[in-house]
Amino acid sequence: MDNLRRFPPPWSMEEGEGGFTVRDASGFRLLTVLHHDDAHGCSYQCANDYLSRDEARRIASAIARLPELLRRPPY
């Protein structure tokens, strides 16, 4: 059944300009989690609309681990 999966594991996370990208084993980009660290250089509304770099990294890292977590046998 693994050969029928559309996004083959393992998934990896890489940091790019302005965000973190999660890719599958074939290199297909699954998603990009954007961040904006320069909260001091923009208005209050701008600061509320973006994730911090650490928040974006943690979210992308958790998503990249999904195939590993789903592969574990139930307890």
Beta bridge partners of 12: 23
For position 26, what pLDDT does the model report? 95
For position 6, what pLDDT does the model report? 87
The pTM for the full model equals 0.76
For position 49, what pLDDT does the model report? 78
- Give the E-state strand segments of 2-73 in sequence order: 12-16, 19-23, 29-34
Sequence-distant (≥ 6) Cβ neighbours of residue 49 within 8 angstroms: 36
The residues of the chain scoring below 70 in pLDDT are: 1-5, 38-48, 72, 74-75
